[in-house]
Amino acid sequence: MSELISVALFLASVVIYAWKAGRNTWWFAATLTVLGIFVVLNITLYASDYFTGDGINDAVLYTLTNSLTGAGVSKYILPGAGLSLALIGVFFALGWVLRRRRHHPHHIGYSLLALVLALASVDASPAFHQITELVKSQSRDGDPDFADWYKEPSKRIANPKLNLVYIYGESLERTYFNEQAFPDLAPELGALKKESIDYSHTEQLPGTDYTIAGMVASQCGIPLFAPFEGNASASVSSFFPQNICLGDILKNSGYENYFMQGANLRFAGKDVFLKSHGFDHLYGAEELKTTVADPTYRNDWGFYDDTVLDETWKKFEELSRSGKRFSLFALTVDTHHPDGFISRTCKRKSYQYDGKPNQSFSAVSCSQEHIAALIEKIKASPWFKNTVIVVSSDHLAMNNTAWKYLNKQDRSDLFFVLRGDKPQQDVSGVKRNTMDNGATVLDIMGGDNFIGLGRSSLSGQSLSEVFLNMKEKVLGWKPDIVRLWKFPKEMKDFTIDGEKNTIAFSGTHFRLPLLLRVSDKRVEPLPESEYSAPLRFQLADFAPRDNFVWIDRCYKMAQLWAPELALSTDWCVSQGQLGGEQKVLHVDNAQWKGKTAFKETVIDTDRYKHNVDLLKVVDNDIRYKADSFIFNVAGAPEEVQQFSGISRPESWGRWSNAQLGKEVKIEYKEPLPEKFDLVITAKAWGPNANRPIPVRVGNKEQTLTLSNEVSTTTLHFDNPSRSKTLVIVPPEPQSTNEGNILGHSPRQLGIGMVDIKVVKSEG
């Protein structure tokens, strides 16, 4: 109903302004802006609902403010492009309609009415309500009984005996196993489920409804509600740092914890969560590509389930033979929405529903084959008698091509347990939720029967049974759960760990580099990630009086306030205000301690503009004082006019990149000497090694030969034409992800340059 009201108000605003308001630039701009906000809000709601089926919720907030590295986006490119074009078209159409009667005299009454109606349409829209509710839910007091129900387990198991294999089936909900609704969809895994302790009534709660949230719920017994502090959760280097989770208990009890998946570990911060809670051995798309038989056999997200589960079996066999106590977690991906992926080794590549093939159902049928095959191998091994196997959903299926059929059923998450030590067949209809999964596993392993808000379904009572509406109760506890992050509200003293590349203050650790906006009541961390702007561009958006602390490589801030550090790749700390005073301190030991010191100074608008202009200078336009071209810092010496064909700085230097230019070209401001030595410290990539590499100055050419290791070569040039340009031509650039930023397309590498120096000779 509210959606219809908001649309009616929107249309009324358009009609009244277009036909009655007349000509006025200010009123036109204001009305178009508010109407545009309405359009953007509703498109955001539509796009969010496409993924979640539940509009703009915590899953959307968390995913957009965390790492998107490794996301399988190809299936969303076309819908995304369509939405963008639609948005542009709507704005043009709105502007055209609103200006239809621009030659009529302006009428302030109708203009005001149109603007009020536009504001009312925004206020009445479901999207606005969902966003405001998300913001409000972070700052409420929470329910006073949270501490009564949140329980911390013992940090170790007294007498551990069993190994654990825990398989998360991506979107693999229990509904798929309904034989009446979906006959013969999952026969192999369904048969194994019948041999297990099978929990038939596992509900999904708010904050547990996407992969990383489902993992947190099942291991820590809490929903994933992250602090709404910019994109702070992307920069934090620990994840619910005070919580005791299943992985922590297993590690403290002598287990080696392994996690294996086909997608990139950095997506949504899974790597940070797992490393924070007991997992020392992580395998994802990057780690597996050097061990799998066919690194090119991949889907949009990473390696197919057959590949990942084969690697899981190998790891199970290796660890079992070694006699080590271990837990081995695996996460599938082939059933990911919108329609999944079909691996090449499954027996049934198609499943028909309503008389036609359905890709999502087909992906489920295929993936469950591989999960069942892994379990059968473990069961047939001599080590099964000491093993507990758990199969669970990470969350209910999202808006996939089977969505409308699933919604006709009574939906619940999958959770069943196969015990090698005590085989048992049972279907338990006890009311429970996914937060109970970890506590149930811990109970089986010999530990406590509770973790956080989770309770063991063997010997405890789920809070889903205690409270009539557990979903409302969880939302009431949301502020209490957010506070478990111990997210800092102030910053006074801080410590920089130069070895771990982290900064710690107020009990929380963040990864470097990092920019922080600091006020009396709030600290806003702004990380630099593969999808965010460089920190200096983010700092350029600060207001003149905003207090900042910026921790980065020295050369990145040296051009502004510390030219003596222009060639340093150490960490530096800069703090102050862009319109006031700034200072830069060099981090000169492994554990460097600092204090914030913001002075009340008069704001200088000219100084502010100068700082903003310098911050916005692109890397290739930065210039420093040096007698050679040093490649592990941004920019070039003052003597260089421009350069091309060279990639970004890395800790050792820079690669040539044929995507940016087929040759390395360095153009100097003044002509090069008539006679000079060119001293090149460099290395070659792949087949460029031990090949003649042409080096040209004007019409003179020498050849350079490099190995795969860094070496220094001196070439003598006569330059009678006084050319200004040096050209190096790598013979065979290779497309590779070596040293690449995760999520970026491969570069075409040829030679790696450390230093180039021009030395004038007299002879």
**Residue pLDDT, tens place only, 490-514:** 899 999 999 888 898 887 788 889 9
Contact by Cβ (8 Å): 444, 417: yes
pLDDT value of residue 54: 63
264-284: per-residue pLDDT in tens?
Answer: 887 777 888 898 899 999 999
Alpha-carbon distance 98 to 18, whole Å? 4
Q: What are phi and psi of 474, to 5 degrees?
A: -60, -45
Amino acid at 756: I
197-199 and 415-419: which strand pairing? antiparallel
Give the confidence band of 69 by pLDDT, cuts at 50, 70, 90.
very low
Q: Is the pLDDT of residue 196 over 90?
A: yes
Coil, strand or helix at 88: helix
Give the confidence band of 241 by pLDDT, cuts at 50, 70, 90.
confident
- Token reading at 175: 């509904």
DSSP string, 666-725: EEESSPPPSEEEEEEEEEE-GGGTTS-EEEEETTEEEEE---SS-EEEEEEEE-TT---E
Alpha-carbon distance 177 to 623, whole Å? 64
| Structural element, H or E, at residue 115 | helix 108-124
Contact by Cβ (8 Å): 535, 513: yes
725-728 and 693-697: which strand pairing? antiparallel
Give the confidence band of 230 by pLDDT, cuts at 50, 70, 90.
very low
Q: How far is CA 347 from the centre of its chain?
A: 34
Q: Indicate the class that CATH gives domain 623-760.
A: mainly beta
Residue/partner pairs of 179-182 with CB below 8 Å, 24 or more apart: 181/405, 181/408, 181/409, 182/353, 182/361, 182/405
Render the burial of 258-269: b for 16+ CB within 10 Å, e for the rest.
bbbbbbbbbbbb
Contact by Cβ (8 Å): 718, 737: no
387-393 and 163-169: which strand pairing? parallel
Q: Where are the domains of the chain?
A: 2-139, 152-343+363-396+414-483, 493-617, 623-760
Q: How many residues does the chain have?
A: 763
Q: Of 606, 601, 546, whose CA–CA distance to 575 is shortest? A: 546
Alpha-carbon distance 331 to 336, whole Å? 11
Residue written as token pair 């294999």: 165
440-489: per-residue pLDDT in tens?
Answer: 999 999 999 999 999 999 999 999 999 999 999 998 998 888 888 877 78
* DSSP assigned state of 255: P
Which of 160-164, 350-354, 508-512 has the weakest average pLDDT? 508-512
Contact by Cβ (8 Å): 468, 454: no
pLDDT value of residue 670: 95
pLDDT value of residue 137: 61
Q: Which CATH superfamily is domain 152-343+363-396+414-483 in?
A: Alkaline Phosphatase, subunit A (3.40.720.10)
Q: Is the pLDDT of residue 90 over 60?
A: no
